[in-house]
């Protein structure tokens, strides 16, 4: 547990991945290119002193060390992303998460995935999986990698989410997942996007010649076209509004970068919509973060914002410390709500604990309203 304002608080990381992007699992060339993008992104965000192999493949040792022992995190939500087109055995499958949770009991909450590439047939049997693995939520990648897209207005999707919610998986993440692209920073006035400090220009990595089966003379089958390695961000906000209103008992968690800031903030009128801060947290302390975080805090309130690190792209320790100590710059303090100890407690853990039905440790102190 972490101490804020003299109070010990529960910290829940709502976005942690256990993935395998190592060479033996890559579907060449697109899987390798995606893994290369991830390593580049990790170096930009949190590359100091972390061997590349620990980012390519998460082990029990590195997860325990980086998240629980050195990350100030009490509980973590494992978010799966299969990416079966890019990785032979899956990128971050539920079965591996369940195995990891068995090795570290009491540490994890499991979430499942609804792969839109499978359509309605692919959703069959999801309800029994929810009960079998005690899933508390679902990840919905509305745009399948490497191609395809699911319409949020599909009637079968609404029925599937309702059944899974009744079975216990009543939290749905949309637009949340490991991203190799920078967060879509935007000016407070809605102007052009800003590039975070230190971020490199977006450029596709060069795939080595040996990874191209035809040129290398390999007997492996060659792809007829290059896959779109990262799905474009965003979704149809009109369809999402209809979906969220039709399922009031389902809580929807959106990524902080899934839509432009103003469009995302307008969704705050829906009481069952929350925002995961993973995509903007690495730049705590910058003016861009202050505007983005302040706008979300003003629109959604502290009770509907969730902490997430996106580990292993970023280790959570630094993010927990900096968010717990965060204060808006003096020149911006009058523009945004106060981020006091009670608000920090909510964002760092209480909100996720409420959504995912995580029990509160006996050592946790009750919430206080005193300022940080």
> Three-class SS of residue 185?
strand
- On whether the pTM is more than 0.95, the answer is no
Nearest-angstrom CA–CA distance, 346 and 43: 30
Residues 66 and 70: their CA atoms lie apart, in Å, by 5
Q: State how far Cα 37 lies from the chain centre.
A: 17
> Could you give phi then psi for residue 39, rounded to 5 degrees?
-65, -40
Whole-number pLDDT of residue 257: 82
pLDDT tens for residues 172-207? 998 676 654 555 444 334 433 334 444 444 443 333
- Residue of higher predicted confidence among 236 and 150: 236
pLDDT attached to residue 260:
83
Average pLDDT on 82-92 reads 84
pLDDT in tens, 322-352: 999 999 999 998 999 999 999 999 999 999 9
Residue 140 has pLDDT above 90, yes or no: no
Q: Where are the domains of the chain?
A: 2-355
- Residue 215 confidence (pLDDT) above 50: no
Provide φ and ψ at 215, rounded to 5°. Answer: -65, -35
The answer to whether 257 and 288 have CB atoms below 8 angstroms apart is no
Report percent pLDDT > 90 for the chain.
44
What backbone phi and psi angles, to 5 degrees, belong to 300?
A: -100, -20
* The CA-based dihedral angle spanning residues 305, 321, 3, 254, taken in that order and rounded to the nearest 10 degrees: 10
Classify domain 2-355 at the CATH class level: alpha beta
Q: Which of 309, 296, 310, 311 lies closest to 343, judged by CA?
A: 296
């Amino acid at each position: 547990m972490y101490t804020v304002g003299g109070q010990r608080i529960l910290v829940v990381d709502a976005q942690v991945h256990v993935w395998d992007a190592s060479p033996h699992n890559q579907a060449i060339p697109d899987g390798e290119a995606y893994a290369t993008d991830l390593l580049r992104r990790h170096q930009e965000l949190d590359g100091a002193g972390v061997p590349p192999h620990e980012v390519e493949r998460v082990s029990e040792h590195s997860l325990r060390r980086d998240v629980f022992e050195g990350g100030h995190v009490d509980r973590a939500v494992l978010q799966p992303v299969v990416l079966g087109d890019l990785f032979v055995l899956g990128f971050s499958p539920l079965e591996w998460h369940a195995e990891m949770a068995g090795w570290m009991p009491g540490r994890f909450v499991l979430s499942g995935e609804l792969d839109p590439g499978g359509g309605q047939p692919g959703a069959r049997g999801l309800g029994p999986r929810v009960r079998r693995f005690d899933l508390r939520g679902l990840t919905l990648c509305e745009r399948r990698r490497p191609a395809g897209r699911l319409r949020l207005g599909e009637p079968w999707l609404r029925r599937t989410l309702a059944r899974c919610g009744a079975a216990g998986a009543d939290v749905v993440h949309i637009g949340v997942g490991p991203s190799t692209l920078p967060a879509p920073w935007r000016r407070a006035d809605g102007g052009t996007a800003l590039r975070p400090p230190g971020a490199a220009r977006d450029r596709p990595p060069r795939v080595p010649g040996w990874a191209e089966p035809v040129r290398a003379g390999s007997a492996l089958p060659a792809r007829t076209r290059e896959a779109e390695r990262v799905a474009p961000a965003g979704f149809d906000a009109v369809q999402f509004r209809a979906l969220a209103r039709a399922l009031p008992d389902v809580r929807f968690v959106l990524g902080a970068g899934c839509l432009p800031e103003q469009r995302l903030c307008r969704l705050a009128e829906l009481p069952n919509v929350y925002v995961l801060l993973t995509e903007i947290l690495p730049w705590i302390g910058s003016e861009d973060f202050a505007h983005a975080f302040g706008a979300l805090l003003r629109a959604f309130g502290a009770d509907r914002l969730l902490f997430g690190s996106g580990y292993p792209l970023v280790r959570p320790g630094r993010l927990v410390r900096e968010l717990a100590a965060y204060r808006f710059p003096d020149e911006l303090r009058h523009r945004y709500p106060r981020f006091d100890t009670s608000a920090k407690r909510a964002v760092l853990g209480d909100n996720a604990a409420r959504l995912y039905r995580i029990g509160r440790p006996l050592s946790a102190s009750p919430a206080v309203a005193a300022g940080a």
